Structure 1
Amino acid sequence: MQINKRGLLFTVIVLTAVAGCGNNSNPSHKAEVAKEASVPVSAHQTHWSYEGDTSPEHWAELDQLFTACSTGTAQSPVNIVHDKVKEDESLSPVSVEYSPSPVSIMNNGHTIQVTLNNKNNKLTIEGKTYQLQQFHFHLPSEHEVDGKHAEMELHLVHKSEDGSLAVLGVLIHSGSENITLNMLWSVLPAEESADEIVIDGAFDPAGLLPADLHSFRYQGSLTTPPCTEGVQWIVLENPVTWSAEQIGKFAAIFPHDNRPVQPLGSREIGSDD
């Protein structure tokens, strides 16, 4: 198995992706958000975590670049309340074009991240196309639905040609085994490292999605520092299942790596039903 050394990447959340980088059409802002989606840790030396003095409630105190974590008004994740979701007929269905692709996997100290090493995986929404950059996991889920967490959440991070970010979020419940996942979990890196492990063969990210792609949509932020806003979130309504053993393997490495839900404020959550 070949080892590919690359810069350690920040996780981006993105519970799960949509048109444009929020309502901000400023190209420089979009480029800033896209850059932060995969900025090497060496560029941001500030240590943050999910526990103790460097936990989410302290992120804004750790670095002036993290100010939005406390002052932002459109932060993620959020609690999705069915009774308050607005059905929006103007929203187009999510179109996903994923195929078996070369990937690499790493433990970046915050999550397990899988990087796509080609540009063949695409998401299209509202007539705009985004390329899948990477995906990663959170335990328990970052988004809540009617005040309840799922066991885990998958975030698939996409970027458009103009730098806009769209994150596709998939909730994960305990149940039947996900056969596709075993290709990754067979080489699950337990220790943090700047090295990416190149997976033998091709991995199909479509195997991580439910058959029904109906979704919730809202404008939010990165769920990790620097918590930059202007991220389009798409959270799929239908969860997928993993076996208890598959969830347990992740939990043994990251017992807790989720940011608590943030105030929705004046934002609305739409549905493409």
Structure 2
Amino acid sequence: MIKKKITMPLMAIAASSLLILGACGTTDSSSTDKNTDTSTKTTQTTKETTTKKDEKALLDWSYSGSTGPSDWGSIKPAYKISDTGKKQSPINIETKDAKADKTKASVAYKYQPTMFKVTRKDQTVQAVAQTAKGRADSKITVANKEYTLKEINIHTPSEHQLDGKKYDAELQLKHVSADNKTLIISVFVKEGDKNQAIGDMTSIIASSENGKTTTMKQAVSTLGLIPTDDKAFAYDGSLTTPATTEGVSWVVYEKPITMSKQQLSDLTKQLGDNNRPVQKLNDRQVSSN
């Protein structure tokens, strides 16, 4: 900015200042205070709104509007299976129709306390398991095939339903086998006692910045995330986010675990309603143990 030199005589400046002060004295102070208060509130509201709007979307899909679930299949060719697939997830599990088959729905666990790196992208969160020196990875065995725990994804409310019922949240523990097959363990969450097993993951998600990765300070007691009641359902499905790739084995536990009201609030603060609607079962058979 170019500063102009002031050449007005000092006496003239003083006189002008007195006139200005006199004019200010005639203003209604209560009106000024009200205007100031209103302006401050407006500024704060605008700032909050701007902050939310300034968070640039990282994904080309979302959970609402023109890029919501009903339009995923038309966003780009790689997502087309969202519309055309016959084995899409999530589903509503009708418990009375499940066929007993312990081979598919029974899981043997070799879980270890695990550290995770947490990344939020828009309304999704991906907690990636970290390998620890001197400690084995968390693994499971289903139908004689071994899978390694790779990540945890969280949805609020739950994506799967049991007899038409949704839960407050759903943890999806993604595992991959040596031959690159995917199996996801799904655990429902309802409000109740604080969940100690999940460590500081919920508070990290609450304060997460879009696109940023944070390393947890506490290890997740992974086995503590699995319900003590082992009743579960199994079926063949897909990923629940684009590209909703099929060929995914699902094991969905019947009994939920709990999280405190604060923990659930921490999740919904950033994730909101990030659940894909249930998909048609078509000719698939749901198994139970």
For residue 97 of structure 1, what is the aligned residue in structure 2? 110
The 1:90–1:100 alpha-carbon spacing in structure 2 relative to 1, beyond 3 Å, is closer
Query: Aligned equivalents of 1:139 and 1:74: distance in 2?
Result: 22
1:234 has 2:255 as partner = no
User: What secondary structure sits across from 1:69 in the alignment?
Assistant: helix
The aligned counterpart of 2:120 is 107
Shift of 1:191: 4.2
* TM-score relative to the length of structure 2: 0.75
Residue in 2 that maps onto 1:76: 89
One-letter code aligned to 1:78? I
User: Offset at 1:261?
Assistant: 0.3
Distance 2:258 2:206 in 1: 22
Q: Is the 8 A contact 1:46 1:63 kept in 2?
A: no
Given that residues 105 and 115 in structure 1 are in contact (C-alpha distance below 8 angstroms), is that contact kept between their aligned partners in structure 2? yes
1:251 Cα deviation from its structure 2 partner: 0.9
- Aligned residue type for 1:193: N
Over 3 Å counting, the alpha-carbon distance change for 1:63 and 1:140 in structure 2 is same
> Structure 1 residues 194-203 or 163-172, which shifts more?
194-203
Q: Distance in 2 between matches of 1:89 and 1:149?
A: 25
Give 1:170's match in structure 2, choosing from 183, 187, 190: 187
* TM-score under structure 1 length normalisation: 0.79
Of residues 161-170 and 233-242 in structure 1, the stretch that sits farther from structure 2 once superposed is: 233-242
Say if 1:107 and 1:190, in contact at 8 Å, map to a contact too: no
Asked whether 1:156 is paired with 2:169, we answer: no
Unaligned runs of 5+ in 2: 1-57
2:143 aligned residue (126, 133, 138): 126
Q: How does 1:212-231 map to 2 (within 5 A)?
A: 212-231=229-248
1:249 corresponds to 2:262: no
Relative to 1, partners in 2 of residues 1:55 and 1:192: Cα closer, same or farther, differing over 3 Å?
farther
If asked which structure has higher relative contact order (CA below 8 Å, sep 6+), I would say: 1
Stretches of structure 1 lacking an aligned partner (at least 5 in a row): 1-44
Q: Which amino acid aligns with 1:143?
A: H
Structure with more of its chain in helix, by fraction = 2
Mapped to 1, the partners of 2:241 and 2:209 lie a distance apart of 17
Q: Residues 101 and 171 (structure 1 numbering): CA distance in 2 closer, same or farther, change over 3 Å? A: same
Q: How many positions carry a matched residue from both structures? A: 228
1:94–1:214 CA contact under 8 A, matched in 2: no
Cα distance in 2, alignment partners of residues 174 and 111 from structure 1: 21
CA distance in 1, matches of 2:203, 2:262: 12
Deviations 1:71-105 (A, max 9, x none): 00010000001111111254462111111123211
> What is the aligned counterpart of 2:61 among 29, 44, 48?
48
1:244 to partner: Cα distance? 1.5
Q: Relative to structure 1, is the Cα distance of residues 97 and 210 closer, same or farther in structure 2, using a 3 angstrom cutoff?
A: same
Equivalent-residue separation in structure 2 for 1:199 and 1:85 (angstroms): 38
**Are the aligned partners of 2:105 and 2:288 in contact in 1 as well (CA < 8 Å)?**
no
| Structure whose alpha-carbon radius of gyration is higher | 2
1:140 aligns with 2:153: no
Map 1:13-92 → 2, pairs under 5 A: 47-91=60-104
Task: Provide the rounded CA distance (Å) in 1 between the counterparts of 2:240 and 2:218.
Answer: 31
Query: What percentage of aligned pairs have identical amino acids?
Result: 34
